């Protein structure tokens, strides 16, 4: 199977700089749909599903290849080489932020800029480092997921999304979590929540933007600031948005911060007649 079919790759547009959007745990490429209109006029957009998510080829997933985030990192590099595009702007949400960091280390010539949305290089506290969770917290979270995938999804997704006054957002994330194959979800959750990529951050060599939300239960503000301080020359922006998924809860504000970082000007006026 081709790389593009394996990762359910969608390319929008045929001119302009390339921006590649990578989704987080339990999500798929559809999670970027509200941000696409803010870039479609002057960027070529690459969307894809991590193997094991969305409409990717589940037959291509194996616990050995994806035992660490490096498996997904290889996939990103393979997609860009197959498309023969680069250097690109890589926008990674949540766990895909660290996949982007690793991809830049693996093939820096393929990337012009890195945008990290709600990143966390390590979720577990370690000495003076505060990742937001103790070891027992993570084991309890993973144990709940192991024993009851649907119950975990229904309980955790609204907390991760935040914005309780907009329950439709939490419902969308819940449905996305529930669609994920339970065995793959359990495996990827353990890989994600036990990873430690702190040592990779100082090796990032492209201009980097760290986007942080307020009241993020997965990646607290202190973690975002840690990432910013560890990546040489990076820029930090605290969005006026809450929760862990500003691509859904605050897409225009998120897009505006990215466009400003890229020197692309304000978000273009959207056609009110568009569906």
Which residues are known to be catalytic?
Answer: 94, 216, 244
SS3 content of the chain, % helix, strand, coil (to 5): 45, 15, 35
Q: Report d(CA 130, CA 228) in Å as an integer.
A: 15
* Cα–Cα separations (whole angstroms), residue 242 to 186, 188, 206, 215, 247: 26, 25, 27, 5, 11
Q: Is 265 helix (H, G, I), strand (E, B) or coil?
A: coil
Give the pair of three-digit tokens for residue 16: 């302009």
DSSP-derived letter for residue 162 is -
Q: Report d(CA 126, CA 240) in Å as an integer.
A: 29
Q: Is 269 helix (H, G, I), strand (E, B) or coil?
A: coil
**Which among 221, 213, 267, 211 is positioned nearest to 241, based on CA atoms?**
213
């Amino acid at each position: 199977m081709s790389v593009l079919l394996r990762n359910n790759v969608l390319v929008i547009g045929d001119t302009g700089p390339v921006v590649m959007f990578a989704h987080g745990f339990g999500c798929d490429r559809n999670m970027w749909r509200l941000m696409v209109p803010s870039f479609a006029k002057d960027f070529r957009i690459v969307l894809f599903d991590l193997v094991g998510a969305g409409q990717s080829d589940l037959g291509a997933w194996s616990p050995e290849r994806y035992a660490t985030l490096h498996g997904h990192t290889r996939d990103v590099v393979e997609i860009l080489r197959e498309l023969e595009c680069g250097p690109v702007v890589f926008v990674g949400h949540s766990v895909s932020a660290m996949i982007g960091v690793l991809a830049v280390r693996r093939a820096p010539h393929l990337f012009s800029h890195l945008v990290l949305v709600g990143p966390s290089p390590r979720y577990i506290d370690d000495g003076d480092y505060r990742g937001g969770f103790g070891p027992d917290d993570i084991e309890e979270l993973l144990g709940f997921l192991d024993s009851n995938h649907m119950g975990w999804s229904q309980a955790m997704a609204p907390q991760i999304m935040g914005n309780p006054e907009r329950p439709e957002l939490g419902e969308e994330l819940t449905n996305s979590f529930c669609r994920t194959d339970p065995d793959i979800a359990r495996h990827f959750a353990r890989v994600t929540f036990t990873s430690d990529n702190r040592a990779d951050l100082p090796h990032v060599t492209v201009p980097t933007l760290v986007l942080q939300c307020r009241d993020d239960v997965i990646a607290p503000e202190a973690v975002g600031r840690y990432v910013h301080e560890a990546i040489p020359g990076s820029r930090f922006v605290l969005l006026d948005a809450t929760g862990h998924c500003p691509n859904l809860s605050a897409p225009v504000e998120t897009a505006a911060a990215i466009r400003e970082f890229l020197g692309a000007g304000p978000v273009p006026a959207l056609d009110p007649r568009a569906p």
